[in-house]
Amino acid sequence: MQNLWSDEEATGKDDLDLLVYQSRLIGADSKLVVWGGGNTSMKLDEPDFRGRTRRVMRIKGSGSDMKSIERKHFPAVRLEDVLPLFVREGMSDEDMVAYLELCLTESGVPRPSIETLLHAFLPHNSVAHTHADAILSLTNSSRAAEVLGTVYGRDVAIVGYRRPGFLLSKEVAQAALGNPRAKGVVLMNHGLFTWGNTAKEAYDMHIELVSKAEEFSAKRAAGQSVFGGITGKWVDADRRSQVAAAVAPTLRGLMGQRQRMLLRFDDSKDVLDLVNAQRGKELSAIGPATPDHLIQTKRQPLWLDVDDPEDVTQVLRAMHEGVDAYANEYAAWFGQHRPEGVDMLDPYPRVVLLPGIGMWTTGRDMLANLITSDIYHHTIGVIGDAQASGDYMSLMPKDAYDAEYWPLELYKLTLAPPERDLARRVALVTGAANGIGRAIAQRLVAAGAHVIVTDVDIAAAQQVADELVAANGPERAIACQLDVTDEQAVAAAFRTARLTYGGLDIVVSNAGIARVGQIHELSLEDWQQSMDINATGHFLVSREAVKLLREQNTGGSIIFVGTKNVPSPGKEFGAYSASKAAEAQLARVLAIENGEFNIRVNIINPDAIFRGSNLWSPELRAGRAAAHGIKEDDLEDFYRQRNLLQLPVTGEDVAEAALLLAGDKFAKTTGAMIPVDGGLKDAFPR
């Protein structure tokens, strides 16, 4: 492991900035900490609110991530109030948290880390703690004592597994003080503490000790097949994604029985090495590398047993049986350990392993999912390295229960803001690069959904998706090129949905064109193109949508963007009105055919959306102005004045209606046609 410290970058920094610098160096290496793991501290003199100099400890606040940590994420506790706790025999987590809050030097700062006392009881100025993969590879081994002795001799003190809290803090301090030669403390199934007079010293020692562990494991693993050799057949990449796409919605449906989840497919090399290995099933069932990971990954992944991973029917059967069995076993494990008054969390797996094909991780959104995925990649590495010199070991089931149902973690869950209307849902929107489609994509994301932004214009679609990701987080939107008249392209877009998110909940079929001309002058080409995009396009999109939603078996909402021309056609709009009428009939038949699957199909009829819309080409504007006998510049005013409310209608107005139809607020509405047109008497649906 590379030591990243640069004296040049560190010069001129005050103590707190050095702590930030040290923490970011640690956070930058995911082999040391992943996503919020680990913590660092610095003891220093600071003036208090009356100007008196006090010895305080700045420690990472709970909920911050080391790779992007800032000064404000390090609350300070007064050491004169904290240190007297050392003589106590014990202290509950709740008492400890409440006490530490009173030791803070400022109000309105993050809650100090749960490992605050551990840092405080060590006498050194700077303390660094990580859950380094290389350390876990040594501690999570059947031969841990021997291996740790070989690597470190008496250079580190060892502390047995115990959940973080008062007792662990005391034990670590006693181990460090009782062994003056110790350069660090290794915590079994948990991680490493190092210290120093300065941030640099503690960091240097951390890298030195972790590097020793890495070198040892690399030497032992050389030439070994740590997961027990390859078994079964190797499926090529194309076939892997075909199978994954075919089965993902079913899996998503099965795991979403209590609450919807997003699925993320992954067939990277380390995953395939594990799922294709002879001992893969047995090793993956042993448990997490450290309790810190358990909240995201649960204690065990679901392993799907199949003889032939390319046989989709067999895989689907294994999914049905496997998910049920997993939930039942989880409930039994919960029942064995549960104290009074604790409710069971979601009993479904967070990691699913399918031999030959790959892995799915699940999460309430793609960030949570990404965290689970990252952690499991590290788990695979730790299992492999631990296997190199013994047998991989994890926590006992009771310890795992205590970690997953730790009251402090459960308390954190209660602080989370309520989920938004479309949280955990995925939408695909066609024609989403501009106008109504873009407004709908943006509105759905704002309501919590993940969106596939499709359009023939991929550059413009990508820009919409990039903006949504920048404002809302990783993988909240992706762009996909889609010509809705191309059967293959439509299938490919839905395959993207299956592989990226595991399925869909909402489909907005919006892409359309408008051609003008009286019928006696209309070219066959204009007619045909109108039918291709405005009728056949909706057919192709909704056909794939219904297939997917039925497989997923969790209902769904399909929204067609129609037009006021369906109930109220206008002259020179023959091709447009006729093709959109076909769309409307298609939607109604879909509603009839799919009600029993709780798939709702509705139509929104907008009128005269000008802003941001590509529908209004210069020819269309000229044509409509001529048809109404007005000047082009007066067109917007004309449309506004002809509606009952005399208001302009925007893409955002249509998006609000789409939001209602997409979510549960309109759960009892299907086959409906909803005008968003400012009120047009002739276009009242009837």
Q: Which residues are known catalytic residues?
A: 576
* Order of strands, sheet of 302-303, starting from the edge strand that comes earlier in the sequence: 262-266, 358-363, 351-354, 302-303
Tokens representing 486 are 């191309």
Q: Is 201 exposed, middle or buried (0-12, 13-18, 19+ CB in 10 A)?
A: middle
Tokens representing 434 are 């501009």
Q: Is 158 exposed, middle or buried (0-12, 13-18, 19+ CB in 10 A)?
A: middle
**C-beta neighbour count of 153 within 10 angstroms:** 9
In angstroms, rounded to a whole number, what is the distance separating the alpha carbons of residues 514 and 291? 59
* Among the listed residues 68, 186, 201, 181, the one whose alpha carbon sits nearest the alpha carbon of residue 138: 186
Residue type present at position 397: P
Burial 318-350 (b: 16+ CB within 10 A, else e): bbeebbeebbeebeebbeeeeeeeeeebbbbbb
| Coil, helix or strand at residue 170 | helix
Q: What is 291-330 written as a DSSP string?
A: HHHHHHH-SSPEEP--S-TT-HHHHHHHHHHHHHHHHHHH
CA angle (534, 536, 538) in 5-degree steps: 65
Tokens representing 167 are 């007792």
Q: What is 603-639 written as a DSSP string?
A: EEEE--B-TT-SSS-HHHHHHHHHHHTS-GGGHHHHH
In angstroms, rounded to a whole number, what is the distance separating the alpha carbons of residues 482 and 462? 12
Alpha-carbon torsion (443, 444, 446, 447), positive or negative? positive
The owner of tokens 């609350």 is 75
The owner of tokens 């380390």 is 270
Q: What is the Cα 273 distance to its own chain's centre?
A: 24
Cβ proximity of 182 and 157 under 8 Å = yes
